[in-house]
Structure 1
Amino acid sequence: MALHNRVSAAELKERLAQETFKRVTISFYQYAKIEDPQAFRDQLYPSLFELGVFGRIYVAHEGINAQISVPEHHFEAFKTCLYAIDFLDGIRLNIAVDDDGKSFWVLKIKVREKIVADGITDPTFDMANRGKYVDAKAFNELTNHPDTVVVDMRNHYEYEVGHFEQAIEVPSDTFREQLPMAVEMLQDKKDHNIIMYCTGGIRCEKASAYLLHHGFKNVYHLEGGIIEYTNKAKAAGLPVKFKGKNFVFDERLGERISDEIISQCHQCGQPCDTHTNCKNDGCHLLFIQCEACAAKHDGCCSEACQQVYNLPEEAQKDLRKGIDKGQMIFNKSRQRLRPRLNQE
């Protein structure tokens, strides 16, 4: 069988819409030494494909990072398949908090240099020396202490729509920028309890190791991240200290954790935490937009993009010719967001 998809995105989305069974959105990761990531990838793909798994999986020498959806009736078979791999046996699966089953429509497994880009080049850095796990109960208890510092290791657009009470934002656009910035910001907190968190645990686990590498002592990271914390806190009847929405990297763009809306529409300033991508195919900027502004601006981030969006398709294609469709088109940085929205 082919070890990649050959069907168009439009057809795949239509197939997903026609499914009559439920899907479960799951994320998991594991830092482990994989000698031959390409061979591992090629062995994993057919097994998951046969089970109807959709999603995005990265494989590298340092481990695996996955965000996927699994047909509910294949869930046990999926676990059996996964647990048959030595370093994944019994791995924690983070089940989505707010799930419509439409998070992914195709299976992609890619080999990467790292499962999370970190910019670390120091050969003495060792992921084996990482912070201590804290579960929901321990997190709540530790955060009641005045000497505890809670650090959000996600990007600015994730923090904006939801975060833990009193959490510190590390104001950067990428994880590789955040790591040295976090060390600098926390220099006077080396003797404090420091708890790091992220969406599912992969970034804060590496960040905890990075702080220990730079001489910090009492470093913790939230087991399973926001997703696992929320599920476990609710199941145990504990107070949920996360406020707002948890941003997720799939079609949902977020899952509701609490009723509070702590962010604003980037165009009118009204309370809103709905992310969208600009409808102009030459832009696709990620930003927050309320329903009224979506209708007013045709789902676009600026008047310039709205004008392009309303041109005939052929005219739009002509304008896009020669445009670099690399990372900058989907750039979520504050530096790019502000000037575009300020055109209003």
Structure 2
Amino acid sequence: MQLYNKLSAKERAELIDKAGEDRLTLSFYKYAKIGNPEIFRNHLFLAWDQLEVLGRIYVAHEGINAQLSVPAKKFNEFKAFIDDINFLENVRLNIAVEQDAKSFLKLKVKVRPKIVADGLNDTSFDVTNKGVHVDAETFNQLIEDPNTVLVDMRNHYESEIGHFKNAITPDVDTFRDSLDIIEEDLKDHKEDKKLVMYCTGGIRCEKASAYYKHKGFKNVFQLEGGIIEYTRQVNEKALENKFLGKNFVFDHRRSERISDDVISNCHQCGKACDTHVNCANEACHLLFIQCEECSKAMDTCCSTECQDINALPIETQRELRKGSHNSNKIFKKGRSEKLKYKA
């Protein structure tokens, strides 16, 4: 019984090219009580591997958080499968704004303590006592209200390339970091202001809205389906788009363009740019914003030091990496003293 990937990302990419078929990138989440996440995880992997589903899925006792790439011709079969799971029946599927057949190249279904790393003690408050979910049209009306405080629940590298007009964008590295900062900044407005939140697909706001209600905020709202669903509704209903720039996404695409506005800059030269790359030096792999000119000049590296290492033979690079375990604790996304123009 196969419960893991047998193909490398390169091999999978070659198969996708050879097939020449459309794939759909989508995401969904659901908070639900899962008794045995490991059994559920295996059930999903076996079924989705047969359907040629690729993606990154987290399963926990509290639910599921999935970002997927599904063969377009097998979408109905995929939908029937998840609808047959009691707590996932008719779950909202956020279809990507921009499609890419190679958005994911492996199927990874992982059991985690939580489906979003929020660092919260969920037993201390009622996680089901959520804020009011609003659609795109109501959201647009709410954020024009002078009594509304609009908060971006994403991290700095996400909001840097795109956010809603007049939104508060905390300069944080993690979702957990933002919770206390926002509460402190808005502590005097728990009753007289409307707290309106948004994130990529809605999952972070789902937990945050319950947390802030527990902390005494009286009027808490969240954008249903996040930026992805907002964009779909704006296009479908011809609503005014109040989002500026790109929506950061967690797959090989890295972002989806929502408006023509470019609100960020190249971290190396300062030129207007909103293209994220990872440093080509595998020992670094820093996520940062780089324009085409700097990419060519720096060989897609974040610094001359990394450029020098990246020019070494692959075997030499591997020797240099031995014994080192890089993580976001060391190489935080978009943060480095080498990046002269990081906002």
Question: One fold, TM greater than 0.5?
Answer: yes
Name the counterpart of 1:175: 175
Superposition map of 1:144-183 within 5 A: 144-183=144-183
Q: Give the equivalent residue in structure 1 for 2:138.
A: 138
Q: How many angstroms apart in 1 are the aligned matches of 2:178 and 2:16? A: 37
- Quote how far apart the aligned CAs of 1:329 are: 5.7
Residues 203/78 of structure 1: CA separation in 2 closer, same or farther (3 Å cut): same
Is 1:273 aligned to residue 274 of structure 2?
yes
Does the residue aligned with 1:239 lie in a helix, a strand or coil?
A: coil
Aligned equivalents of 2:309, 2:341: Cα separation in 1: 15
Partner of 2:289: 288
Aligned equivalent of 1:199: 200
Deviation at 1:258, TM superposition (A): 0.3
Q: Percent identity?
A: 56
Question: Letter of the aligned partner of 1:144 in structure 2?
Answer: E
Matched, 1:126 2:129: no
CA distance in 1, matches of 2:313, 2:42: 42
Displacement of 1:6 in angstroms is: 1.9
Letter in 2 for 1:121: N
1:38 is matched with 38
Displacement of 1:122: 5.5
Verify: 1:48 aligned to 2:45, yes or no.
Answer: no
Please report how far the alpha carbon of residue 342 of structure 1 lies from its aligned counterpart in structure 2 after TM superposition. 4.1
Whether the aligned pair in 2 keeps the contact of 1:61 and 1:113 (CA below 8 Å) is yes
Q: Which 4+ residue blocks in structure 1 deviate beyond 6 angstroms?
A: none
One-letter amino acid of the structure 1 residue matched with residue 22 of structure 2: K
CA distance in 2, matches of 1:253, 1:185: 30
Instruction: Within 5 Å, give how 1:1-344 maps onto structure 2.
Output: 1-121=1-121, 123-190=123-190, 191-328=192-329, 331-332=332-333, 337-342=335-340
Query: How far is the alpha carbon of 1:101 from its aligned partner?
Result: 2.4
Give distance in 2, aligned partners of 1:196 and 1:175. Answer: 13
Tell me the alpha carbon deviations over residues 37-71 of structure 1, each in whole angstroms, 9 at most, x when there is no partner. Answer: 11111111111111111101000001000000111
Q: CA RMSD in A?
A: 1.5
TM-score by length of 1: 0.96
Q: Which amino acid aligns with 1:217?
A: K
1:306: Cα distance to partner? 0.4
Unaligned runs of 5+ in 1: none
SS of 1:76's equivalent in the other structure is helix
Instruction: Please list the CA deviations of residues 207-260 of structure 1 after superposition, one character each: whole Å capped at 9, or x if unmatched.
Output: 111100100010001000000000011100100110000000000000000000
SS of the equivalent of 2:294 reads helix
Does the CA-based 8 Å contact 2:270-2:341 persist in structure 1?
no
**Worse overlay, 120-129 or 95-104:** 120-129
SS at match of 1:251: coil
For structure 2, the residue ranges without an aligned partner over 5 or more in a row are none
Instruction: Classify 1:327/1:314 alpha carbon distance in 2 versus 1 (closer, same or farther; 3 Å).
Output: same
SS in 1 for 2:288: strand
- Structure 2 counterpart SS, 1:25: strand
Q: TM-score, normalised by structure 2?
A: 0.96
How far apart, CA to CA, are the structure 1 residues paired with 2:5 and 2:322?
A: 26
Q: C-alpha separation between the residues in 2 aligned to 1:343 and 1:316?
A: 28
**Deviation (angstroms), 1:181:** 1.5
Alignment check: 8 A CA contact 1:272 1:289 kept:
yes
Counterpart contact for 1:244–1:261, Cα < 8 Å: yes
Name which of structure 1's ranges 123-132 and 150-159 shifts more when overlaid on structure 2.
Answer: 123-132
